[in-house]
Amino acid sequence: MTISEALSKAQTITTLYSDTPSLDAQVLLSHILETPRTWVLAHPEGKLTPNQQNALSQKLSQIESGTPLPYVLGHWDFYGLEFTVSPAVLIPRPETELLIEEALQWLRAHPKHRTAADIGTGSGCIAITLAKQIPNLQVTATDVSPDALDIAHTNADKHSVAEQIRFVQTNLLNDERTTFNIICANLPYIPTAALHSLDVYGQEPTLALDGGPDGLNAIRDLLKHAPQYLALGGLILLEIDSSQGISALSLAQDNFPNASLRLLPDLAGHDRLIRIET
């Protein structure tokens, strides 16, 4: 089987499960051949070995059974870094890079503010990316799931930032006895009824997706307690569902009446981030 034929076969199958079947087919072949995606595209006449053909068939079978491509590969890229992923953690998504950009811009403008919290860290992509970009940043990363924290530990070691990050198994910031200059959170925010109608339901961890009846349970709880954890002159960044902008902003106003509040859109123009600066 040539690379061209393999790409065609993979794309035929990924078309049924993905909005980006061509890209997914290329990523899958790049993984199997252990070469950059650009090399795969430049060598359509190349031949797969029998072992590579078997690996392709096995991974396409996993995709056909409903396993998302990142879990099939065991890794996924976020903000230019490769993160180990498993069904224990949410797959990192491009819209979360808006939170990263806002956090980095603020941290670089406040060079003396170097304590951060990442609430619901999952794979650790937020904590690790911030630590990688700001070498003197100290991050506390929390999650209720011990399996998720195992993945996050693996990723911190992979990117050589483990000494900058303290991982804590807890709900939100419970039991913390300190304050932070910046608090970041990508909490479960999909309303329960809406989640049950999405393809992602049953594929990625429900614990990381289900935000309760209105999708705001975890966000509401964090905002209620956040004033005691945010240092004076600090920043909170919360990723939200595109339908929650006004509701989430109202919750922020209730808990931080004197703060500067902004609702930020993602690249598609959808409400995506609540920014609270005290």
Q: Model confidence over 227-268: pLDDT tens digits?
A: 999 999 999 999 999 999 999 999 999 999 999 999 999 989
Query: What would the CATH number be for the domain defined by 88-277?
Result: 3.40.50.150
In terms of residues, how long is the chain? Answer: 278
Token pair, residue 72, equals 């099939």
Residue carrying structure tokens 């931080």: 256
Q: What is the per-residue pLDDT across 62-119, written as a single tens digit (0 to 9) for each?
A: 999 999 999 999 999 999 999 999 999 999 999 999 999 999 999 999 999 999 999 9
Alpha carbon distances (Å) from 231 to 114, 182, 274: 11, 8, 18
Predicted pLDDT at 176? 85
265, 272 contact by CB (below 8 A): yes
Predicted pLDDT at 71? 98
Q: What is the DSSP string of 124-171?
A: SHHHHHHHHHSTT-EEEEEES-HHHHHHHHHHHHHTT-GGGEEEEESS
Q: Would the CA dihedral through 30, 36, 46, 18 be positive or negative?
A: positive
Predicted pLDDT at 177? 86
| Cα(74)–Cα(68) distance, integer angstroms | 10
pTM attached to this predicted model? 0.94
Query: What would the CATH number be for the domain defined by 3-73?
Result: 1.10.8.10
| Cα(270)–Cα(4) distance, integer angstroms | 37
Q: What is the DSSP string of 44-88?
A: TT-B--HHHHHHHHHHHHHHHTT--HHHHHTEEEETTEEEE--TT
Q: What is the per-residue pLDDT across 153-179, written as a single tens digit (0 to 9) for each?
A: 999 999 999 999 999 999 999 878 899
The residues spanned by each domain of the chain are 3-73, 88-277
Going by the DSSP 8-state scheme, the letter that residue 248 receives in this structure is: H
